[in-house]
C-alpha cells in the first residue's frame, strides 16, 4: 500500500484545545444524564443509563479528538501516562488545566438548562453504606486498572487489539466501572469530573477522595505498566496513515496519550 508522509505533531495549544473540548463532550453527556434523571424523573433514565452516557461519551470523545491530544480527558490518566513514561511530564499541568476548563464549561451548560437540584446531583459522594476510606480504596483501584487498560489498548504494540479498538474498550471500561463500582464509591475515577461541579456549587465536602484517590491510582497504574515491559516513550511517535485507511492511533494519537 502507498505510504504517506508522517503527520506532524500538533502544537501544544491545539492539543490543549482538543483536550478541553473532549473533556467537555465526555462530561457534558454524563452530567446531562444525571440531570435528566433528577429533573425529569418518571424513569426517564436509570443509573445504568448514566453509566452508558459516561462510557459511550468517553468513547466518542476519544474517537473524535484522541488523534490530536491523545484523548486523556482525565488528570489521573495524564499523570499515570507520565509515570509510565508514555507522556511528557512537563505537559501534565497544562493538560490538567485544559481538562478542568472543559469540565467547568460542561457544568455551566447543565446549570443553564436544569434546576439547582440537578446541579447539586453532580456532586460526587460515596454511598452512605460505604466509608470514606472504602470509597478512597475503590476509586484508587479502579483508576489504576483504568490506566493499565489504557496503556495496553492504546500504546502496547504486543496487543493485537491496540489502536482501533481503544476508544471502544476504554469507554467500555468506564461504563463497567460506573455500573459496578460507581454506586458504592461515587463513580468518579477522574478529578476533573468531581472538581468542576464542586467549584461551581462550592461543595467541597468529600472532594479529597476524588482528587487524591484517582491521582494515586493513576500513578500506580502507570508504574505497573512499566513492570509489564512497555518500552518507555517520552515523545510519542506520530500517526502514520497507510492506504485508504489510517492506522489506529499510536502513542501520538490515542494517548499522546492516553
Digit-coded pLDDT (tens) for 57-111:
999 999 999 999 999 999 999 999 999 999 999 999 999 999 999 999 999 999 9
Run of H or E residues at 225: helix 207-227
Number of domains comprising the chain: 1
Q: Which of 239, 253, 248 has the alpha carbon at shortest distance from 4?
A: 239
Let me know if residue 197 belongs to a domain.
yes
Let me know if residue 239 belongs to a domain.
no
Let me know if residue 5 belongs to a domain.
no
Digit-coded pLDDT (tens) for 136-166:
999 999 999 999 999 999 988 888 878 888 9
How far apart (Å, rounded) are the C-alpha atoms in residues 236 and 156?
12
Q: How far is CA 108 from the centre of its chain?
A: 19
How far apart (Å, rounded) are the C-alpha atoms in residues 190 and 206?
14
Let me know if residue 243 belongs to a domain.
no
What CATH code is carried by the domain that includes residue 168?
1.20.1080.10
Q: Which of 63, 64, 87, 59 has the alpha carbon at shortest distance from 75?
A: 87
Let me know if residue 238 belongs to a domain.
no
Which domain range does residue 186 map to? 12-227
Digit-coded pLDDT (tens) for 178-236:
999 999 999 999 999 999 999 999 999 899 999 999 999 999 999 999 998 765 554 44
How far apart (Å, rounded) are the C-alpha atoms in residues 134 and 103?
26
Let me know if residue 246 belongs to a domain.
no
How far apart (Å, rounded) are the C-alpha atoms in residues 18 and 12?
10
Let me know if residue 191 belongs to a domain.
yes
Amino acid at each position: 500500500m502507498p505510504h504517506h508522509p508522517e503527520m506532524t505533531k500538533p502544537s501544544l495549544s491545539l492539543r490543549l484545545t482538543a483536550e478541553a473540548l473532549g473533556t467537555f463532550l465526555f462530561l457534558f453527556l454524563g452530567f446531562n444524564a444525571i440531570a435528566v434523571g433528577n429533573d425529569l424523573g418518571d424513569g426517564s433514565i436509570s443509573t445504568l443509563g448514566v453509566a452508558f452516557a459516561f462510557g459511550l461519551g468517553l468513547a466518542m470523545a476519544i474517537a473524535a479528538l484522541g488523534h490530536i491530544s491523545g484523548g486523556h480527558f482525565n488528570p489521573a490518566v495524564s499523570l499515570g501516562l507520565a509515570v509510565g513514561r508514555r507522556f511528557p511530564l512537563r505537559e501534565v499541568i497544562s493538560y490538567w488545566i485544559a481538562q478542568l476548563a472543559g469540565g467547568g464549561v460542561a457544568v455551566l451548560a447543565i446549570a443553564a438548562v436544569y434546576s439547582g437540584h440537578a446541579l447539586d446531583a453532580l456532586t460526587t459522594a460515596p454511598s452512605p453504606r460505604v466509608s470514606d476510606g472504602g470509597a478512597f480504596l475503590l476509586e484508587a483501584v479502579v483508576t489504576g486498572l483504568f490506566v493499565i487498560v489504557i496503556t495496553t489498548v492504546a500504546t502496547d504494540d504486543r496487543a493485537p487489539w491496540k489502536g482501533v479498538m481503544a476508544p471502544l474498550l476504554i469507554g467500555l471500561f468506564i461504563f463497567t466501572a460506573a455500573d459496578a463500582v460507581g454506586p458504592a464509591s461515587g463513580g468518579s475515577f477522574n478529578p476533573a469530573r468531581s472538581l468542576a461541579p464542586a467549584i461551581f456549587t462550592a461543595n467541597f465536602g468529600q472532594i479529597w477522595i476524588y482528587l487524591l484517590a484517582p491521582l494515586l491510582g493513576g500513578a500506580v497504574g502507570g508504574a505497573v505498566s512499566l513492570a509489564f515491559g512497555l518500552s518507555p516513550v517520552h515523545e510519542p511517535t506520530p500517526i502514520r496513515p497507510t492506504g485508504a485507511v489510517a492506522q489506529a492511533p499510536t502513542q501520538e494519537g490515542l494517548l499522546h496519550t492516553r
